[in-house]
Structure formats: C-alpha cells, structure tokens
C-alpha cells in the first residue's frame, strides 16, 4: 500500500484494504458463517481496475430457505423484547457502525468505486438510520376510540409483520440495507437480505458488525447469490415470509411484485427515477450550478435521486450550460482511493456501454457536447463528466435513467410546457426546482409528480424525511415516522368495559 493511500485513509482503512486481498466470505445465517450448499462462489471486482478483489459464497434456494427458517425462530423471541431494549440494540448498532466508518467506507470504495468522501458520507447516512429508528422504536403508537354507536371501544395496535425479505442494489452497498433493516428490527421483525452480486462485501461485514453490536443470532441473515431469480422464487414461498422490501430498478421491482402477489405479501418498492432539474431565469445561477453538481454527481452519478434532465428557461440556458460545463470539466475522475478524486468509475462494463450509447445517440440526433462525451482511456469503467446542450425534448437520454455523469440540457420558454415535459415519464421519484421566487417554486414543486422535491436544494435524503416515489418509482416510504410502520401490521380489537 502506498504512503499516499495510507495517509488519505488512516490506519483502520489501510488495514481494511490490505485484508481485502484474497478475501473469501461465507454466507451469514443464524449468526454463523457457512458455505453455499452447492459450493458456488461469486467474484467481486474493483470497478476502478476490473480486477477481482474478493470472492463470496453464492447461496442456493436451499440456503435462502434455511435463512428464512432461522429468521422465523429468532423473530418469535425478538417480538417479545421490550421496545426500549430493542431501541438500545439499534442505538448500539449506530455507535458500532460510526466507530467503523473508515473501514466500511474503504470496503464500499473497493467494490463500488465511489470516491472515499462519498463512501464516508454513505456510512454516516447508513448508520443514522439506526439512531433515528432507535428513537422511533419506542414511539410506535396505537389508537383508542369509541365506536360511533357507543357499543364498544376500538383499540388499534401495530405488531411486527414477521419475516421480511430484503433485496438491495449496488449503488449504496450499506445505506440501502440499513434504511430498511433498522426500522424492520425496531418494529420487531427478522430479515433475510439478498445483497447485490456486485457489492456483497459491505453487506456481509455489516451483518458481522451488527452481531457484535448485540443483534441476536438469526435476526439478520445475509445470503448473496448468483441465481437471484431462483433464490427469490424459493424464499418468497417460505411460509414465515410476510413481506418483501426491495430497492432497485422498476423492471426488477415489477417481477418481484408479480411473484409476491402469489402469497399476497406486503411490499415496499423503492424503484428507479428520472428526475427533472428545473432552472428558472430568476434563479441564483451560482446556487443552481452548485446544486446541479450535487444532484448529478454525488456517488459517481449513480443515485436514484440523480438529476436526469436539466430543464432550463431559455433566457439563461446558454449561461447555465456554460457554467455547468465548466464545473463538470473541473471534476477529477479516477479510482475512489486516489487523492482529489470526486467522481469514480461506473459499476461495470454494461453500464459504461449504456451511458456511452445514450450520449452517442443524443449527439447523432443533434445535441452538442459542451464538455466530455467520451470514455476515459484507462482500465476500469470510466466515463468523462459530460454536458449536452440543445437536447431534443423526449429524446431517449431524457427518458432513460442515465446512471452516469451526463447532464442533458433541454430549454423551455413556457411554464406549462415545462411541467408537461417534467411529468412526461412513468417515473416519479425526485425533482429539483431553482428560482428566487419562493411562491413560484412551491407552486411548481406541487405540480411535479414526484415523491421528493429539492427546492433550491441539490440534496434531499434524510432519515427523518419520507423517502419514496410516485408512479412507477415505487410503493411505500422509507425513513421518517412512516418508515417503521411499513414493517408493522395493524390490528384492531373491539372491546368494551
Ligand atoms: P436491479 O438490477 O433492479 O437489482 C437490484 C437487486 O435485485 C439486486 O440485488 C439484484 O441481484 C436483484 N435482482 C435482480 N433480478 C432479480 C430477480 N429476478 N429476483 C430477485 N432479485 C433480483 O438494480 P441495480 O442495478 O442493482 O440498482 C440500480 C437501480 O436501483 C436504479 O434503477 C436505481 O434508480 C434504483 N434505486 C432506487 C432507489 C430508491 O430508493 N428508489 C435507491 C437506489 C437505487 P443481482 O445483483 O444478483 O442481479
């Protein structure tokens, strides 16, 4: 390990990075480690180089079922634990994750590729779901009412759902797990997690740390697999499973929903996005460019909340495009462990191909490249930060989730036309609006069909806020006071005294 990397990362992270070499991880079931029942292994690569950095065991459908049975046994006792005690376990998880920030961040960089500062930010965000839900765990409320007829009392309470399957994406290897896991545990559930095959290392280390923090055996099981369809098909039919919580693409979400319907399972779906980023002529352009860089580029431009289309009022379109291009051209691209890098590689070769094809098609259709527009000539999956001007409304790059460092700019002259463009998508996760006129900003925000709006803000994720989408961007919410109730049933008892 070079001295530069050691000085950037500190001793804990340097040790973590060294440990990765040749690492092999097993499945985590019932608080212990075991191989997959058919001995399969999954290779994990570093997207900055394409080199294989570790292997993990690949679970079979039989392993998924074993994990569900372990979860079923553990959940029965956990549901009887007092809320305060569950809350204290969650708080201990928060403290443990925070204490391991450097190590977890290094793991995230290694298997995902995002810059270290983003990875550290992710660990803080991921840990915070435990602190927030430790507080929510002791505040799960019921209701008591008198029936209108006066005949009886209506007593409502919220028991846990039971065993929950959690399937998560690679773009936030830690936070997309903890955003579900913390409220699920707080409410009294047990879980079986299928992490993404590209980033299973963080998930397995998380499980180990949570166990050290006091989470009882069997409550959190992590079973990576190379055969996710067969894994899910088996697990979803386990009689103890009562809920599926998924974060990932809308395409896969649809498949999982169809199958969950066979057993009428409760579901939470956090799916894809296609966020419009609206800039009015009266916006503070410095703030708009700064917000655009945050909304577009954090976590190597691979976030579901990423600004996907820049809708800019014609009077400032040229100036905004030029300033954004200047900021994008100044971004240092490289491995997440390199000093000064603020944009890492894309996750894999197909993602690089997709981004490259979208840009080429937009340029062929008449868009002009203000900066970037090419892959980087180095190993790994790198694409240059790119701004495209004069993009035709409705073109493929404005319809598909880009998931890469490309900002297409479309200009508009009329507010109603802009709202139609913003809403001309089946997605509805996030939107952004920049204007100095707050009442106009609020009115426009209300007209954008998205679950979350950043009004003069490029960042909006917060454990205390309801995260989730409208339309085909999802069902249900994570975070806020709503998040924990997603993992609860509602029972009503009619009684009188
Ligand atoms: P993805 O392809 O949908 O995969 C997500 C997870 O589903 C992975 O663990 C994957 O496993 C698994 N999976 C795929 N096919 C499956 C099947 N037939 N049965 C069971 N599991 C299956 O998504 P991704 O590429 O990892 O992540 C990017 C997407 O996630 C983007 O669309 C992004 O917008 C969305 N996302 C949404 C949010 C949100 O909160 N709304 C947050 C983050 C990301 P394998 O890895 O083994 O294929």
Catalytic residue among 72, 103, 128, 304: 304
How many angstroms does the Cα of residue 246 sit away from the middle of ligand 1?
8
Q: Which atom of ligand 1 is nearest to the CA of 474?
A: 41
Contacts 24+ apart (CB under 8 A), 361-369: 361/395, 361/396, 361/397, 362/388, 362/391, 362/395, 362/396, 362/397, 362/408, 363/388, 365/392, 365/395, 366/390, 366/392, 367/391, 367/392, 367/395, 367/397, 367/408
**Residue 15 confidence (pLDDT):** 64
Local structure of 431: helix, strand or coil: strand
Cβ–ligand 1 contact at 26 (below 6 Å): no
How many angstroms does the Cα of residue 73 sit away from the middle of ligand 1?
28
**Residue 3 confidence (pLDDT):** 40
Q: Which atom of ligand 1 is nearest to the CA of 170?
A: 26
Which residues does residue 153 pair with via DSSP β-bridges, in sequence order? 146, 495
| Residues 267 and 475 sit within 8 Å (Cβ to Cβ) | yes
**Residue 23 confidence (pLDDT):** 82
| Residues 435 and 445 sit within 8 Å (Cβ to Cβ) | no
**Residue 6 confidence (pLDDT):** 43
Structure tokens, 359: 């840009």
pTM, whole model, 2 decimals?
Answer: 0.96
Q: Catalytic annotation on 270?
A: yes
Residue owning tokens 């092999």: 24
How many angstroms does the Cα of residue 196 sit away from the middle of ligand 1?
7
Q: Which atom of ligand 1 is nearest to the CA of 429?
A: 41
Burial of 413 (0-12, 13-18, 19+ CB in 10 A): exposed
Catalytic residue among 136, 270, 313, 400: 270
How many angstroms does the Cα of residue 23 sit away from the middle of ligand 1?
25
Cα–Cα distance, 154 to 148 (Å, whole number): 10
**Residue 20 confidence (pLDDT):** 72
**Residue 9 confidence (pLDDT):** 52
How many angstroms does the Cα of residue 195 sit away from the middle of ligand 1?
9
Cα–Cα distance, 102 to 119 (Å, whole number): 9
Cα–Cα distance, 25 to 17 (Å, whole number): 15
Pocket test for ligand 1, best of 108, 252, 301, 308 (most atoms within 8 A of CB): 252
Cβ–ligand 1 contact at 196 (below 6 Å): yes
Alpha helices in 138-249 (DSSP H): 175-186, 200-212, 228-235
Cβ–ligand 1 contact at 370 (below 6 Å): no
pLDDT digit string (tens) for the chain, length 497 residues: 444 444 445 566 666 666 676 689 999 999 999 999 999 999 999 999 999 999 999 999 999 999 999 999 999 999 999 999 999 999 999 999 999 999 999 999 999 999 999 999 999 999 999 999 999 999 999 999 999 999 999 999 999 999 999 999 999 999 999 999 999 999 999 999 999 999 999 999 999 999 999 999 999 999 999 999 999 999 999 999 999 999 999 999 999 999 999 999 999 999 999 999 999 999 999 999 999 999 999 999 999 999 999 999 999 999 999 999 999 999 999 999 999 999 999 999 999 999 999 999 999 999 999 999 999 999 999 999 999 999 999 899 999 999 999 999 999 999 999 999 999 999 999 999 999 999 999 999 999 999 999 999 999 999 999 999 999 999 999 999 999 999 999 999 999 99
pLDDT, one tens digit per residue, over 207-238 is: 999 999 999 999 999 999 999 999 999 999 99
Q: Catalytic annotation on 208?
A: no
Pocket test for ligand 1, best of 175, 244, 248 (most atoms within 8 A of CB): 248
**Residue 279 confidence (pLDDT):** 98
Cβ–ligand 1 contact at 197 (below 6 Å): yes
CB neighbourhood size of 469 (10 A): 26
Pocket test for ligand 1, best of 228, 469, 482 (most atoms within 8 A of CB): 228
């Amino acid at each position: 390990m070079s001295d530069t990397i050691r000085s950037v990362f500190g001793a804990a992270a340097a040790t973590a990075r060294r440990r990765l070499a040749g690492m092999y991880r097993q499945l985590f079931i019932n608080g212990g480690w075991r191989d997959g029942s058919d001995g399969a292994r999954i290779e994990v690569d570093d997207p900055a180089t394409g080199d294989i950095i570790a292997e993990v065991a690949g679970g079979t459908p039989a392993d998924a079922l074993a994990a569900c049975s372990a979860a079923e046994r553990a959940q029965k006792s956990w549901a009887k634990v007092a809320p305060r005690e569950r809350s204290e376990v969650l708080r201990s998880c928060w403290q443990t994750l925070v204490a391991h920030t450097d190590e977890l961040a290094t793991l995230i960089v290694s298997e995902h590729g995002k810059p270290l500062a983003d990875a550290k930010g992710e660990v803080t965000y991921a840990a915070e779901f435990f602190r927030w839900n430790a507080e929510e765990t002791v505040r799960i409320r019921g209701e008591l009412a008198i029936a209108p007829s006066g005949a009886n009392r209506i007593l409502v309470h919220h028991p846990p759902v039971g065993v929950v399957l959690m399937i998560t994406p690679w773009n936030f290897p830690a936070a997309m797990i903890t955003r579900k896991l913390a409220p699920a545990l707080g409410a009294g559930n047990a879980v079986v997690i299928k992490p993404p095959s590209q980033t299973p290392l963080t998930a397995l280390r998380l499980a180990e740390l949570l166990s050290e923090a006091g989470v009882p055996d069997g409550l959190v099981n992590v079973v990576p697999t190379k055969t996710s369809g067969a894994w899910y098909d088996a697990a979803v039919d386990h009689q103890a499973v009562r809920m599926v919580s998924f974060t990932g693409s809308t395409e896969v979400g649809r498949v999982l929903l169809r199958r969950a319907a066979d057993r009428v399972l409760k579901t939470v779906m956090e799916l894809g996005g296609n966020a419009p980023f609206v800039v009015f002529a009266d916006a503070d352009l410095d703030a708009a460019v700064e917000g655009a860089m945050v909304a577009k580029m954090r976590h190597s431009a691979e976030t579901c909340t990423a600004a996907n289309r820049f809708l800019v009022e014609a009077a400032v379109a040229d100036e905004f495009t030029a300033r954004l291009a200047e900021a994008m051209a100044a971004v240092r691209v490289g491995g997440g462990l390199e000093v000064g890098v603020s944009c890492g590689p894309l996750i894999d070769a197909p993602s690089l191909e997709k981004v490259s094809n979208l840009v080429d098609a937009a340029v062929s259709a008449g868009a002009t490249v203000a900066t970037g527009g090419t892959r980087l000539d180095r190993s790994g999956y790198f694409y240059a930060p790119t701004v495209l001007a004069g993009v035709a409304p409705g073109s493929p790059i404005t319809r598909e989730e880009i998931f890469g460092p490309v900002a297409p700019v479309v200009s508009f002259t009329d507010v109603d036309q802009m709202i139609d463009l913003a809403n001309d998508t089946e997605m509805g996760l996030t939107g952004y609006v920049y204007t100095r006129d707050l009442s106009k900003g609020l009115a426009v925000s209300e007209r954008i069909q998205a679950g979350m709006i950043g009004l003069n803000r490029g960042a909006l994720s917060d454990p205390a806020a309801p995260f989730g989408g409208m339309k085909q961007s999802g069902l249900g919410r994570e975070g806020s006071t709503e998040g924990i109730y997603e993992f609860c049933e509602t029972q009503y008892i009619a009684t009188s005294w």
